[in-house]
Structure formats: structure tokens, C-alpha cells
Amino acid sequence: MNHERFMQRALDEARKGLGRTSPNPPVGAVVVRDGEIVAVGHHERAGGRHAEVVALERAGEKARGADLYVTLEPCNHVGRTGPCAPAVIEAGIARVFVGSPDPNPIVSGRGIRRMRRAGLAVEVGLLRDECDTLIEAWAQFITSGRPFVTLKVASTLDGRIATRTGDSQWITGERARGLVHALRDEVDAVIVGAGTVAADDPRLTARVPGGRDPLRVVLSSRLEVSPRARLFHGASVAKTLVACVSPAPEAEAAALRAAGAEIVECRGVNGRIDLGDLLARLATLGIVHVLVEGGARIFGAFLAAGFCDRLLLHYGPKVFGGGPAWTDEPAVARVADAPGFRFVQVSELGGDLVVEARPVERHPAKRTVRTSVEKADEKQAAGGSTRQIGASAREAAPARRASRRRKPALE
């Protein structure tokens, strides 16, 4: 039986929920009987049925004696919906293939242990890397308490985001810009600075078929944003927040509220927005993944603060030879002090170059923490009583470490 093919289908189902399930993770499930898929399901929205329940209800009696493939460990706690592990047991499932254990240390392994105690055969780690990547934003959110941050930059080959006169439309081509709209459809919020609003007057919407617009967040320490900006007057139902340093200027705040904006007052550092406070406030709104789209001071502030989990660089095949660079921070004096990145993927898209990079830890710590699932797997490998399909324990990916809170500043 091609187990990877069925888990891949579960991943495809889960991706349908990207940007729609926060503060819950995207999850997909597939029920397979006699080598044939009989039902699929995914988690559609927070508060809605979980993927396993959707798939099991669709399978009905065909679930008895069948296999269940699920991208994330079935939950065993009561939240806005009932626990999934008991539902899997009651449906009569014989075997369960789990992609990722739940990264939440408070609940990790409970669903798996409950199913194993009920006599189900449970294998953990099928397509683990792909399943971990699917929920990486949520995993950071649930373990560190702050949103996952993606920086998206469109620049020329010499790193410019505009000409010396400020002209910036368009540096990249239509397909690269279409990719940005798809990204907006998958994240919870888009962040830009007041300078970008003034220069480009963007709508920050996801113009893709069936798409939904993210929360729009504008950063301006003194609310220097025009109430006439298109952000406040388009057809989108998405909210627009304007973040500033507390206390907010009364006249400017009143004008922006009249235009439909919500004002978020943050702590200030040297007259600028405390980024750590901003991200914490967004987390309380259930924002799991934010996409930062500029401009240069915004990119620089996030980089200098260490709030960059993924960097996407879209290079247009142009050279300006002048104009603003995409960042001017952290402005290191020595090469050894520069933040390091590793390339994850480089591809060509419609004549543009798309580069994905991830930050590199300066002094990565040795792994000392194992999840409860991994401990159980090791017990099985040593001849213990815990049931698991397969002869040996899996060497799991390193556990994510909670990020240290810092006090960065912005605009």
C-alpha cells in the first residue's frame, strides 16, 4: 500500500484551510479502506469540525476497519469542539498514520496514547517534514506566543525597491505579483509602513479566485496616514488596523476611525513602535502568520529585532543603480556581525527570480528536549509495550525553541 500517497492527499486537503483556520492549525485527513480512498476532510475554520471528524462522518460505516491518515495528531482535549481521538476510536478505525505530533508541549502525545490504549495501531512520522512545514507558523505561535513572520521583498538585482525618484511600479512581473496575492490569501495579516501607503496607495487584498483578504496593518508612530487611502475605502470586508505609539494623537485617530480604521496603541521605544508589543497584541487577536511587505524601514526594523522567520526575495531583472535599498538595518560594522541566512529554494517565475531563505542560529543549541511521542517510540524500539507500526523508532526533527521576547522599535 502506498502510504505516502495517501498522506500526500491529506496534505493537499489541509492546504485548503491555510489562512482560514487561525488560531487553529490547518489539518487534513483521509480514510482508506482496502487501498481505496473512501473519504477526505479538512479543518475549514476555527470553531468548525476538525478534519478527522469531517472525514469520518463522510466515510460512515466504511470507516470500520479502515485506515486514517491525518497530518497532525488527533486532539484529546475539549476546546471549541469535542476531542478527535475518541471519535477516531468510536468510528472503528483500525490503523492511524500521523504526520506530525502536536507541538504543543501541554497536549503533545495525549491523542496518540489514547488511541494506542484503545488497541489502534498508530504510526507517527509519515511525511513528517512536509507535515511539519505545513503547520510551522502555528507551531511557533503555540510554543512562543508570537506570530510567525514572513518578510516579502520585491527588488532589483542591485537590491533597490524604487528608483531615485521613487518610482516602483513594477519591479517584478505579473506572475511574481500573482504569487504575492496567493500569499496574502494564506496569511492572517499583512503589515506595511505609512511610507508604503503614501507612496503606493496599496489595497493589500488577495485578488485570487475564491480568495479571502487578510487583516491589513499599517505602522505609523504618530498616525501619519491619510484617511483617503484606498485601504479604507475599497470593497474588501477585511479590517484595517493602524498601529501607533501610545497615546494616540486624538485628531488623527478620530479621522482614521471615521474612515473605518481601528487604532492599536502600542508601547513606544524612543518614539517608535515596540515591535514585540505589536506582535503580542496581534497574537491576542488570533493572528498566527503575518506577511511584512515593507518598506525599507519596516524590513530593517524586523530584521534588526530578530523577528524574521522566513525571507522571500523577488528579484526583477533590472538594475537601478540608485534609489532606496530594501533595508538599511541592522547596519553592521563587521561582516561577522551580519545576520546569517540559509537558502531554502531558488526558482525562476515569469522572468523573475524567487529566493526563499531562513535565518541561521548563531550558536544552535544541542537538542535536549524530546516530545512524549518520541519517548514512547524509543520505548517501543527498546522492546517496551507501546504499540507502533514499524520495526524501529523514528529520529524526529529538532524541537522548536520558543523565541525570546525582545523590545524592538519601529517608525
Q: Which of 4, 13, 44, 52 is catalytic?
A: 52
In degrees and rounded to multiples of 5, residue 148 shows phi and psi of -75, 135
Which DSSP symbol is given to 338?
S
Burial 105-123 (b: 16+ CB within 10 A, else e): eebbbbbbbbbbeeebbbb
DSSP conformation letters of 21-47:
STTSPP-EEEEEETTEEEEEEE--STT
For strands 341-349 and 352-359, give the pairing.
antiparallel
Three-state DSSP class for residue 8: helix
Separation of CA 77 from chain center: 23
Cell numbers 480568495: residue: 211
Residues 202 and 154 sit within 8 Å (Cβ to Cβ) = no
The sheet with strand 189-193 has its strands ordered as 262-266, 240-245, 215-219, 189-193, 289-292, 148-155, 310-315, 352-359, 341-349
Burial of 209 (0-12, 13-18, 19+ CB in 10 A): exposed
User: CA 64, CA 61: separation in Å to the nearest integer?
Assistant: 6
Q: Are 219 and 190 in contact (CB under 8 A)?
A: no
Is 52 an annotated catalytic residue?
yes
HSE-up of residue 257 (Cα within 13 Å, Cβ side):
9
Amino acid at 311: L
DSSP strand E in 46-141: where?
A: 67-72, 95-100, 121-124
Residue holding cell 506570530?
147
Q: Within a 10 A sphere around the Cβ of 181, how many other Cβ atoms?
A: 14
| Catalytic residue numbers, as ranges | 52
